[in-house]
Every structure is written in C-alpha cells, then in structure tokens.
C-alpha cells in the first residue's frame, strides 16, 4: 500500500507512535522515527522496521520543543529517506496538577511539544505534499481535544488546539490531494498513561487500583484501555486511497467516552 512513500512519525520510540511506525513500515513505507530513549533500543526498532519492508528506517533525536531541531529533523528525513508524504504528529507529554500549582515551565513544555510542534512540522512538510499532489497528515489528539478533565488544563488546551489546527489546515489543503485529520483516543495503555498514575494518586489521595478503575477508566464505557495497535490501524486506514474524502475530521477511538 505505501511502497515508495516516506513517513515521518514523531514520538515513535514508544507507545502509540511506535505502533503507527510499525503499521506503516509493514505496508512498505520508509519510516523516519523520532523520540527519546536508549540509542541501542532505538537501533533495535530501526532494524525491526527495516526487516518489515526491506527498506531503510531513519531516526532523529530532535527535541520537538525546539523549532530549530524540528527544522533539522525534516531536513534529515528529506536527505536520508525523501520528503515525507505521510506526517504523523504523535509526540506528546502530560503533567497532572491543579491549575494554581501548575509549574509554568510545564505549561510551556506541553504547549510546545503537543501543539506548536504540530504547526512547525506541518508548515515544513506540506509544500512537498502539495507538489506531489498526495499527502496525509495525521495528528494524535485525544478525547481531551473534545472534553476536559480536572488537573490537566495545559494538555486539554493543547489538544483542543490540535483539533482546531487540523480543521484549518484541512481546508487549506483540500484541493491538493492532502488530507489532514486527528485521531482522538481515550485511555491507551502506554508509558504516558502508566506514568501519570503516581501523580494522580497524590493529587486525589487514591490507590493505584482506584486511579485505574475510578479515574482513568471511569469515563471509558468499554472499561478497557485502547490498544496502540487499534490506533495504528486507523492511522493506516487514513493513508488508504478510499480515505481521500476524510479530511478535517476528529476521529474518536475512546470506548464511548465522548458519547456520554
């Protein structure tokens, strides 16, 4: 399906992004990985992707809170693999705290990685997609792009921002063969979710089990975490030719959370 296509997937050394990178590589895309982590472990992922499609997989350690590093990442991808015709803006960070105690540097970091980075990668990658007359921009938003939870104001603000940004760029690119969408998962079992359990325990005075069942899955009617592979399957579907009319959409995959 994606032979000869280049996919840049941010935040793909872990969780949802890694599942998306694997799914795209399995369909033949040359994937540029990005994210933090142990270099040797990332090399194992690169080797795995290379085996999946017999082509090369690249890696950029760009810190997406730094616009210059984003520039360099897109340039490296273009030099090493080709200009991306699939851009998956997936990197994201979370921090949980009541607003009056929220560290201002955490606000800056969450807005930079979860929202501003999406602007920078998009403005850099869209021109070559337009030139080619084909492109897919897929943003990992969140159920928090539609509804809110307490103690997550910066994350909720950034994700609502991603949903609005997605709609605006979809309109601008609508005649160019480029679709722009977001996928909005509910709780997916990844390190991002696991790592916020201790802070939520502290903020609300709850046990680990109470946080999992009464806080995280409280809002998810299916009472199970979404699997990263489910999100990856939807991302892959958006790359299919028959998904060409899906643009400007915010696709929920939240076990019914935002239906309630």
Does the footprint of ligand NAD cover residue 90 (CB under 6 A)?
A: yes
Does the footprint of ligand NAD cover residue 36 (CB under 6 A)?
A: yes
Shortest Cβ distance from residue 241 to ligand NAD (Å)? Answer: 26
Instruction: Name 83's bridge partners.
Output: none
Candidate residues 83, 190, 250, 252; the one interacting with ligand NAD per rule CB under 6 A: 190
* 59 has catalytic annotation: no
Candidate residues 46, 65, 85, 181; the one interacting with ligand NAD per rule CB under 6 A: 65
Query: Are residues 118 and 165 in contact, defined by beta-carbon separation less than 8 angstroms?
Result: yes
Q: Which residue, 147, 20, 39, 37, is CA-closest to 86?
A: 20
Candidate residues 27, 48, 63, 71; the one interacting with ligand NAD per rule CB under 6 A: 63
CA distances from 46 to 35, 42, 60 (A): 12, 6, 11
* Window 107 to 136, contacts with ligand NAD (CB under 6 A): 113
Shortest Cβ distance from residue 180 to ligand NAD (Å)? Answer: 16
Candidate residues 42, 64, 232, 251; the one interacting with ligand NAD per rule CB under 6 A: 64
For residues 162 and 177, what is the distance between their CA atoms, to the nearest angstrom? 21
Cβ proximity to ligand NAD: between 132 and 253 the closer is 253
Instruction: Tell me the CB-side half-sphere exposure of residue 133, using CA atoms within 13 A.
Output: 0
Cβ proximity to ligand NAD: between 64 and 126 the closer is 64
Candidate residues 192, 206, 218, 234; the one interacting with ligand NAD per rule CB under 6 A: 192
Starting at the edge strand that comes first in sequence, how are the strands of the sheet with 135-140 ordered? Answer: 58-60, 30-34, 6-9, 86-89, 135-140, 178-185, 250-253
CA distances from 90 to 14, 204, 212, 214, 217 (A): 10, 28, 23, 27, 22
Candidate residues 193, 203, 206, 234; the one interacting with ligand NAD per rule CB under 6 A: 193
Q: Where are the beta strands (DSSP E) in 121-253?
A: 135-140, 178-185, 250-253
Question: Which letter does DSSP use for residue 227 in this model?
Answer: P
Does the footprint of ligand NAD cover residue 188 (CB under 6 A)?
A: yes
Does the footprint of ligand NAD cover residue 222 (CB under 6 A)?
A: no
* Interface residues toward ligand NAD, by CB under 6 A: 11-17, 34-37, 63-65, 90-93, 113, 140, 142, 185, 187-188, 190-193
| Active-site amino acid positions | 155
């Amino acid at each position: 399906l994606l032979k000869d296509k280049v996919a840049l997937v941010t935040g793909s050394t872990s969780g949802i992004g890694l599942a998306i990178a694997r799914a795209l590589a399995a369909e033949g895309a040359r994937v540029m990985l990005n994210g933090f982590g142990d270099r040797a472990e990332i090399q194992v992922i690169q080797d795995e992707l290379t085996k999946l499609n017999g082509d090369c997989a690249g890696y950029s350690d760009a810190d997406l809170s730094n616009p210059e590093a984003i520039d360099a990442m897109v340039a490296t991808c273009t030099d090493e693999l080709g200009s991306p015709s699939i851009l998956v803006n997936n990197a994201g960070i979370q921090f949980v705290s009541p607003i009056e105690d929220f560290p201002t540097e955490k606000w800056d970091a969450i807005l930079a990685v979860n929202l501003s980075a999406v602007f920078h990668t998009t403005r850099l990658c869209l021109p070559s997609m337009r030139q080619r007359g084909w492109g897919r921009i897929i943003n990992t938003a969140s159920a928090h792009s539609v509804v809110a939870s307490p103690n997550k104001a910066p994350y909720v603000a950034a994700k609502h921002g991603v949903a609005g940004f997605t709609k605006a760029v979809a309109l601008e690119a609508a005649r160019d063969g480029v679709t722009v969408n977001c996928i909005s998962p509910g709780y997916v079992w990844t390190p991002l979710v696991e790592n916020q359990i201790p802070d939520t325990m502290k903020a609300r005075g709850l046990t680990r089990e109470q946080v999992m069942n009464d806080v995280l899955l409280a809002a998810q009617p299916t009472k199970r975490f979404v699997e990263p592979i489910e999100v990856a399957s939807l991302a892959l579907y958006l790359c299919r030719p028959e998904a060409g009319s899906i643009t400007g959409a915010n696709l929920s995959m939240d076990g019914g959370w935002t239906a309630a």
